[in-house]
Amino acid sequence: MKKPQSCIQIEPDLIATATGEASAAAAGQVQAHVATCRACRDDFARYRAVDAVVGTLRGDMPPAADADAARARLLGRLADLKSRLVSYKVFPSPLGPILIAASEHGVALVEYLRGDVADSRLFRMAGVDTQEGGAALERLHRELLDYLAGRRTRLEWPLDLRFARSDFERAVLQATAAVPYGAVSSYTGIAGELGKPSAVRAVAQALRHNPVPIVVPCHRIVGIAGDLVGYAGDRLGLKERLLAVEGVPTAHARSRIVREAMYHYDPNPDRQYCVPSCGGILHRPLGQVKLFASREIAQSVGLSPCVDCRPDLHPLAH
């Protein structure tokens, strides 16, 4: 027997009403229809029964142990992915395009890009899964711009030194990170601090491979005579600019620090710093001797003015 047209038309609303999906208006029409149509009333009851059976399935839960085990395995794989995953982005800067890359542990790479991003060190590292973008990187970029503009003196970024090639290199980076803003030390000085005074070349190599320049301020490390030596390959200009931001004077033509314009510290029991003219300190090699662009910086690392040359009374003219 053929279904009447009115029954065919109301069928979707009938299903909707029977399964709790219908609007009030549609439900009203369906109720009115089934009150007079026997076949549709049966249909309606059938759909309601189907809906009730479906409802019992909704409450089915897989064994809690299965879900727990699945979650535990997921968290394991997630930890593995996180440990491998490094997010990166290339940003413009006054020093040219810079790639910043960070893992869950911290910033892993700051790289001056010369060409294509595909040539970045990032893509030559084994065991690394890369991903472009990330809100955290934007914040790092803003802070870096502030730093380069002299509006910020520290980049207090958590670091992930996975791209350093050895524990020695990591130790060099750690020691370099301790050189404060506006201060200058030497490769020899860092080697001495690490208790390996003969490892000067190895220190220089480690800093040449510094995966996080600017953040680990290898630009504050110079040769024993105050010469700038190397930076990011052959980009001494970058080193000079970074030092200039911190107020460290450099003689561009000779690519060296202007020691005459900096305060000196040669380790002494009283922890006193001097003006360069004090007792021939200017001519001592930058082995143990450290330099500071200002008295404030020298004092910020716990030094006090020398009682002979009195840098407190006779500051250097800038």
Partner 1 sequence: MGEIVQLDETGFETIVATHHGEIFRYLRRLAWRAAEADDLSQETFLRAYRARQRLTADANVRAWLFAIATNVFRNHARSERRRRAAHDTVRATRRELETDGPEAEAVAGEVRTLTEQAIRALPLKQRLAFTLRKMHELDYEVIGQSLECSPESARAHVFQALRKIRTTLNGHALPATEPTR
What residues are annotated to the active site? Answer: 218
Residue among 172 and 274 whose Cβ is closer to partner 1: 172
Q: Does 177 bind partner 1 (CB under 8 A)?
A: yes
Per-residue contact track with partner 1, 249 to 288, x per CB under 8 A?
Answer: ----------------------------------------
Among 7, 26, 41, 209, interactor with partner 1 by CB under 8 A: 41
Neighbouring C-alpha atoms within 13 Å toward the C-beta of 183: 23
Q: Does 38 bind partner 1 (CB under 8 A)?
A: no
Neighbouring C-alpha atoms within 13 Å toward the C-beta of 219: 26
Phi, psi of 181 (to 5 degrees): -55, 130
Residues 153, 60: Cα–Cα separation, whole Å: 59
Angle in degrees, CA 21, 22, 24, rounded to 5? 140
Binders in 82-121 for partner 1, by CB under 8 A: 82, 85, 87, 102-106
Residue among 42 and 119 whose Cβ is closer to partner 1: 42
Shortest distance (Å) from residue 191 CB to partner 1: 19
> How many residues sit close enough to partner 1 to count as binding (CB under 8 A)?
60
Beta strand pairing status for 221-222 and 183-186? parallel
Residues 258, 278: Cα–Cα separation, whole Å: 16
CB of 149 closer than 8 Å to CB of 113: no
Q: Does 149 bind partner 1 (CB under 8 A)?
A: no
Among 32, 39, 75, 225, interactor with partner 1 by CB under 8 A: 75
Angle in degrees, CA 101, 105, 107, rounded to 5? 30
Residue among 17 and 294 whose Cβ is closer to partner 1: 17
> Comparing C-alpha atoms, which of 269, 224, 218 is closest to residue 239?
218
Q: Does 81 bind partner 1 (CB under 8 A)?
A: yes
Shortest distance (Å) from residue 318 CB to partner 1: 30
Tokens describing residue 204: 């220089």
How far from chain centre, in Å, is Cα 271?
35
Q: Does 24 bind partner 1 (CB under 8 A)?
A: no
> Comparing C-alpha atoms, which of 20, 7, 8 is closest to residue 47?
20
Residues forming contacts to partner 1 in the complex (CB under 8 A) are: 12, 15-16, 19, 21, 27, 31, 34, 41, 44-54, 56-58, 60-62, 66-67, 69-71, 73-75, 77-78, 81-82, 85, 87, 102-106, 131, 133-136, 156-160, 173-174, 177-178, 216
